Amino acid sequence: MGRRRRARGRALDGVLLLDKPADRSSNAAMQRARVLLNGAKAGHGGSLDPLASGMLPILFGESTKFAGGLLDADKTYVTTAQLGARSTTGDLEGELFDTCPLPQDLADAVSTTLPRFLGDIVQTPPMHSAIKQGGVPLYELARAGITVEREERPVRIHTLDCLALTDSTVTLRVRCSKGTYIRSLVEDIGSAMGCNAHVSLLRRESVDPFDASAMVTLADLESARDAGPSESLDRFLLPLDAALCALPIYQLENAAERGVFQHGNLLDVREQPVPDESPMRVYHDGDFLGVAICRAGRLRPTRLLKRPETSN
């Protein structure tokens, strides 16, 4: 008897802002959400470590075409730094070393150190990260006891605020550019204070352009699924163009222009006040069709949605 074919799930488009729990990997959380919504295709807009909780944008169907914008977006984190020692993993999962005494005036040390990390800085990615070297993720090398040289990378810290202090911890809110490693930032701040530090808590509060107000938990999804069919969970989805709200809108004038655009061809827009090299969302009759850029007076599609199939 042949193997039964696995159901593919529903053709579902949209963005789910999942509040990932701290006990799951990003992929495991995404797959659980996909199963609950019975979606055929899903991806996420930037992974979180299993230690971290918070916003994990999950993109369903055609929304996956716009994941790049979320990967490049600014993000906001809340993290608690445990002071007094470094960790082999940069967080609670590793072994502690380089134990140091804490500053006598911790509040003063924090207030004088944090401004040094605002703006453009360089970081060395931690060994326990997903960056690949020779095709192998660094964390796999680290688990094998192998340490390799890593190139410094520029990042930008937009804001860095102290939210709370205890005798041995400092809780920070960090708004930063893509590619920022919060564990590395905490380690560097601890070193600059002369007491060393590692992450004991990490939560992502937002991924531009989204804020926390629309986040849902796996428990929310499971409760909704228990109360009704998977279609009832669609109310948690944001529109598939929600991640692109910062882009200006270009409205096509008629069905003929729509046909040209949806076939990937150029549109002459020299009669329109459209600046060159300006990416924009393209719509017709209320339908989002994709993203385009204007060059030399012509609108060039860069990401198109799949056209619905028509029956003969």
Q: CATH no. for residue 264?
A: 2.30.130.10
Residue 259 shares a structural domain with residue 231: no
pLDDT at 118: 97
Kindly state whether residue 257 falls inside one of the protein's structural domains. yes
Kindly state whether residue 48 falls inside one of the protein's structural domains. yes
pLDDT at 134: 73
DSSP label of 153? E
Q: Which of 94, 93, 113 is nearest to 103 (CA)?
A: 113
Give the SS3 label for residue 25: coil
Q: Which residue has the tokens 């990997």?
A: 25
Residue 149 shares a structural domain with residue 198: yes
Structure tokens at 24: 């799951």
Contact by Cβ (8 Å): 111, 231: no
pLDDT at 311: 39
Residue 200 shares a structural domain with residue 277: no
Kindly state whether residue 311 falls inside one of the protein's structural domains. no
Give me the residues of the chain with pLDDT under 50, please. 1-2, 310-312
Structure tokens at 75: 């993000």
Kindly state whether residue 83 falls inside one of the protein's structural domains. yes
Residue 59 shares a structural domain with residue 126: no
Catalogue the E-assigned strands of 9-152.
14-20, 42-44, 53-60, 75-83, 86-87, 96-97, 119-123, 132-133, 136-137
Kindly state whether residue 3 falls inside one of the protein's structural domains. no
The domain spanning residue 53 has which CATH number?
3.30.2350.10
Return d(Cα 237, Cα 37) in angstroms, integer. Answer: 10
Query: Which helix (DSSP H) or strand (DSSP E) does residue 183 occupy?
Result: helix 182-193
Structure tokens at 156: 């930008």
Structure tokens at 68: 């790049």
pLDDT at 130: 66
pLDDT at 209: 93
Return d(Cα 204, Cα 212) in angstroms, integer. Answer: 9
Residue 173 shares a structural domain with residue 291: no
DSSP 269-292: -TTS---TT-EEEEEETTEEEEEE
Residue 50 shares a structural domain with residue 105: no
Number of structural domains (the chain) is 3
295-307 pLDDT tens trace: 888 889 999 998 7
Kindly state whether residue 171 falls inside one of the protein's structural domains. yes
Kindly state whether residue 309 falls inside one of the protein's structural domains. no
Residue 65 shares a structural domain with residue 138: no
Catalytic residues: 49
Instruction: Decide: residue 57, CB within 10 A, 0-12 exposed, 13-18 middle, 19+ buried.
Output: buried
Give the residue numbers spanning the domain of 33: 14-72+210-240
93-140 pLDDT tens trace: 888 999 999 999 999 999 999 999 999 999 987 777 667 777 777 777
Return d(Cα 70, Cα 245) in angstroms, integer. Answer: 12
Residue 81 shares a structural domain with residue 197: yes
Residue 278 shares a structural domain with residue 169: no
Residue 114 shares a structural domain with residue 138: yes
Instruction: Give the count of beta carbons closer than 10 Å to the beta carbon of residue 309.
Output: 5
pLDDT at 6: 54
Kindly state whether residue 266 falls inside one of the protein's structural domains. yes
Residue 23 shares a structural domain with residue 54: yes
Residue 86 shares a structural domain with residue 200: yes
pLDDT at 310: 44
